[in-house]
Amino acid sequence: MPPVLTGPGVLEAPAAARTAPAPAPAPVDRCPEAATARAVILARSGRGGAALDLLDAVSADPCTADDTAGDVRALRTLVRGEHPGERGAPRAPAPGDWGCALADGPVRAAADAWAGVLAGLPAYEIAPRADRALAALAPSAFRVPAGPWGATVAAAAAVRALLHTDRLGAAAAWSGRLAARAERDGDPERRAEFLVLLAMAAHRQGELAVARSRLSTALDLVPGADAQPWRLTALLTRGRVLALTGRPASSAPPSVPAHTVVPDRVPGHNTPPRHADAVPRAPSPNSLQWVDHLYFRGETRLARGRPAEALMDFVRCGRALRDWDADRPTVTPWRSGAARAHLALGNRGPALSLALAEVRLARECAAPRALGISLREAAAAADPLFRMDLLQESAGLHETAGARLELARTLCLIGREQHRAGDRKAARAVLATACEAAHACGAPVLEKRVRQELAAAGGRVCGKAVRDTATLTARQQRVAELAVQGHGNREIAARLSLTESTVEQHMTQVYRKLDIAKRSEIRISGETLG
């Protein structure tokens, strides 16, 4: 039975079919730490139900010390947060409980920060706690019951809380530090996981070259670990980056399957036709990754001119999130996707209803990038008299969040509206800025669309942006100088007391800012640096 809109953005549909229960876990080990570590492994392999059962048993075991039991309860919150289809989203702390959570340790603080995201608490309530949890997860604090991987789960949850509250700079900084720490520890899988989070932050900031580089490194570090959640996230993020850069999937590293056909039917739902997707298999239908997988598939179908199928994917996202009590635009903005699909089908009324509902929910979450996206989608469906106000507010929010790619998209629409209103001069100025922003992000697909709008407004089609070394930071300038002098990344790292990974990040920024592909092209005023 198709979903029915009973109010602004509210879905009424049959509940998803229950999946078969996970196999019962083995009896609890007499060592709580060993049992907890096993539970983390189960959760990371997609068996959230079995992991929760085992953590329950550890908590109930009289041999478990009080401090260990507290961390076990926090890990249980984290597992529920990643697999909300098992028992629903975890309860978020009330505002007055935050201090208690921080006093109980960084794992509890990280767990409550992620629970706050799922509950739709304001970003200004969540982000400071996530920051403090990460600051407390120093190397000496990586002694939770599940060992380093338990601390990794907590740290990754705190970084994701920053990502979903649109604290993109902080998320990128923490991800880089944690990846560098894992590199020093000689732990490639932990490093890969945080590199993926770094790539997600770069993607949201519009640093597509950085995102592509970090994803390539992460996927090459641990080849063949397709069942790991971080790898599935990496493949989905890579699919989004490839769509923006216009690169075919075959450009991916040979060790990573470019596109693999996944089953026609998604567990618990009837339907769709065969499709190619960016992941080697569908995630657990009780996990948030499954919703992200559906949303990505909807985006792909919409881009390929199949809005009816895309709409069903977006609706399934909303149905699952509603059933799990995690229906927040900061988790998955399915209403914006559904609004775009409705507009493509000519259904302006439902599109506007969904978009306005998402604006209301996004305002409650107070995450600027998410709110900016919802305002932009509402503008597309709104009466022309109100579009410019919505778009200008959206642009301001994206600038505040440092989301340059979303800003370029919004500026493109502002320029189009100004052109339609007859203000061609203002339209050309805004579209030129949007063209420069799209080029700086490394998004040729968007840049081409902006150029078409600029040409239609009578403007000169922008060429490549002018780049020189004045755009580099002092550290990037020094790294570039040493690179031109013939030093490799390892030598540069030793000279500047940096990790090799940090040098790679600086070189990626140098290439992007100077719009070049190799070291010999680093030039200023026609002369090579150094």
- Here the CATH number for the domain that contains residue 336 is 1.25.40
Domain boundary among 334, 350, 381: 381
Domain count, the chain: 3
Position 282 confidence tier, pLDDT thresholds 50, 70, 90: low
How many CA atoms lie less than 13 Å away from 80 in the CB half-sphere? 27
Question: What tokens were used for 479?
Answer: 């790294």
Domain match, 43 and 170 both = yes
Domain match, 35 and 105 both = yes
In this structure, how many other beta carbons lie within 10 angstroms of the beta carbon of residue 152? 24
| Better pLDDT: 185 or 16 | 185
Domain match, 519 and 496 both = yes
Q: Does the pLDDT at position 281 exceed 80?
A: no
> 413 lies in a domain?
no
Domain match, 351 and 484 both = no
> pLDDT > 70: what percent of the chain?
76
Mean pLDDT value of segment 341-352: 95
What confidence tens digit (pLDDT) does each residue in 391-416 have? 999 999 999 999 999 999 999 999 99
Domain boundary among 249, 284, 300: 249
Position 24 confidence tier, pLDDT thresholds 50, 70, 90: very low
- Which domain does 184 fall in, by range? 24-249
* Residues making up the chain, counted from first to last: 530
Domain match, 185 and 298 both = no
> pLDDT > 90: what percent of the chain?
42
CA distance 404 to 389: 19
CA distance 232 to 43: 14
Tell me if 377 sits within 8 A of 361, measured CB to CB.
Answer: no
Q: What are phi and psi of 137, to 5 degrees?
A: -80, 55
β-pairing verdict for 10-12 and 4-7: antiparallel
Question: What tokens were used for 29?
Answer: 């080990």
Tell me if 169 sits within 8 A of 195, measured CB to CB.
Answer: no
Least confident of 12-16, 160-164, 207-211: 12-16
pLDDT at 205: 93
CA distance 188 to 172: 19
Domain match, 198 and 162 both = yes
pLDDT at 513: 74
Domain match, 245 and 266 both = no
Distance in Å from the first CA to the final CA of the chain: 68
Mean pLDDT value of segment 281-304: 89
> 456 lies in a domain?
no
> 82 lies in a domain?
yes
Question: Which CATH number characterizes residue 485's domain?
Answer: 1.10.10.10
CA dihedral 296, 299, 301, 304 (to 10 degrees): -130
Domain match, 112 and 161 both = yes
Domain match, 31 and 98 both = yes
CA distance 260 to 279: 6
> 397 lies in a domain?
no
pTM of the model: 0.76
Question: What tokens were used for 146?
Answer: 């599940």
Q: Does the pLDDT at position 10 exceed 70?
A: no
CA distance 60 to 82: 22
Domain match, 41 and 118 both = yes
Position 85 confidence tier, pLDDT thresholds 50, 70, 90: very high
* Residue located via tokens 């069903």: 312
Longest pairwise C-alpha distance within the chain? 76
Tell me if 150 sits within 8 A of 141, measured CB to CB.
Answer: no
From the number of C-beta atoms within 10 Å of its C-beta (0-12, 13-18, 19+), residue 151 rates as buried
Highest mean pLDDT among 34-38, 230-234, 263-267, 279-283: 230-234
> 332 lies in a domain?
yes
Mean pLDDT for the chain overall: 79
pLDDT at 18: 38
Domain match, 292 and 155 both = no
Written as one letter, the residue type at 515 is: D
β-pairing verdict for 276-277 and 523-524: unpaired
Q: Does the pLDDT at position 22 exceed 50?
A: no
pLDDT at 104: 67
> 462 lies in a domain?
no
> 9 lies in a domain?
no
Angle at 237 between CA 175 and CA 192, to 5 degrees: 40
Domain boundary among 190, 221, 249: 249
* Residue located via tokens 């959570």: 101
CA distance 167 to 330: 12
Tell me if 294 sits within 8 A of 284, measured CB to CB.
Answer: no
Tell me if 409 sits within 8 A of 446, measured CB to CB.
Answer: yes
Highest mean pLDDT among 263-272, 375-384, 498-507: 375-384
Domain match, 191 and 308 both = no
pLDDT at 64: 64
| Better pLDDT: 224 or 50 | 50
> 443 lies in a domain?
no
